[in-house]
Amino acid sequence: RKEVEQDPGPFNVPEGATVAFNCTYSNSASQSFFWYRQDCRKEPKLLMSVYSSGNEDGRFTAQLNRASQYISLLIRDSKLSDSATYLCVVIRYGQNFVFGPGTRLSVLP
């Protein structure tokens, strides 16, 4: 079993839809969590950190469930520009960043 798992998708949603992604991690000692976004042929870019109490940044909401060992990302009112691959990232210890395989999102007009 991989340490960080995501549904690869693709998720094809119409503009304006709400879409949610989950990411599960296997190591209960994981300390910090992030969502990154990667556009085709570009580098991954930080979308948001994930805090224990959950956090929101505009149309994006991130949640952490330590008991079930998953994090989620909710995108409301999706835009065409949200089309990308979303990568879940977990820090195990120190600076050991572990990336999930990514979930591909296509927002359709």
Partner 1 sequence: DAGVIQSPRHEVTEMGQEVTLRCKPISGHNSLFWYRQTMMRGLELLIYFNNNVPIDDSGMPEDRFSAKMPNASFSTLKIQPSEPRDSAVYFCASSAAKYYNSPLHFGNGTRLTVT
N-terminal to C-terminal alpha carbon distance within the chain: 37
Does residue number 93 form part of the binding site for partner 1 (CB under 8 A)?
no
Structure tokens at 2: 């991989």
Does residue number 94 form part of the binding site for partner 1 (CB under 8 A)?
yes
Does residue number 9 form part of the binding site for partner 1 (CB under 8 A)?
no
Task: Name the region of 16 (left: φ>0; alpha: ψ -120 to 50; beta: rest).
Answer: left
Q: What distance in Å separates the CA atoms of residue 108 and residue 89, rounded to the nearest whole number? A: 26
Task: Please say whether the beta carbons of 32 and 90 come within 8 A.
Answer: yes
Does residue number 1 form part of the binding site for partner 1 (CB under 8 A)?
no
CB 14, min distance to partner 1, A? 27
Structure tokens at 64: 């952490």
Number of C-beta neighbours around residue 32 at 10 A:
15
Binding partner 1 by CB under 8 A: which of 12, 18, 26, 49?
A: 49
Does residue number 89 form part of the binding site for partner 1 (CB under 8 A)?
yes
> Considering only 11-19, 53-61, 63-71, 95-103, which stretch makes contact with partner 1 by CB under 8 A?
95-103
Note the residues at the interface with partner 1 (CB under 8 A). Answer: 32, 34, 42-46, 49, 87, 89, 91, 94-99, 101-102
